[in-house]
Amino acid sequence: MHPLSRRRWLLSATGIAGVGVFASRAALAFSIQNDNAEVDTLVRDRCSARNPYHAQLVADLVAKLKGHSQAEIEAALAATRCPICGCPIA
Which one is predicted more confidently, 2 or 88? 88
User: Would the pLDDT of 36 be above 90?
Assistant: no
Asked whether residue 31 is domain-assigned, the answer is no
Asked whether residue 10 is domain-assigned, the answer is no
Asked whether residue 15 is domain-assigned, the answer is no
Task: Quote the domain boundaries for residue 68.
Answer: 51-90
Number of separate domains in the chain: 1
Alpha helices in the chain (DSSP H): 6-23, 25-28, 37-45, 52-64, 70-79
Asked whether residue 65 is domain-assigned, the answer is yes
User: Would the pLDDT of 15 be above 60?
Assistant: yes
Asked whether residue 11 is domain-assigned, the answer is no
Asked whether residue 45 is domain-assigned, the answer is no
Asked whether residue 61 is domain-assigned, the answer is yes
Give the CA distances from residue 23 to residues 13, 51, 70, 77, in Å, rounded to whole numbers and listed in that order: 15, 45, 65, 55
pLDDT in tens, 56-89: 889 999 999 999 999 999 999 999 988 877 788 8
Q: How many angstroms separate the CA atoms of 2 and 4, rounded?
A: 7
Asked whether residue 77 is domain-assigned, the answer is yes
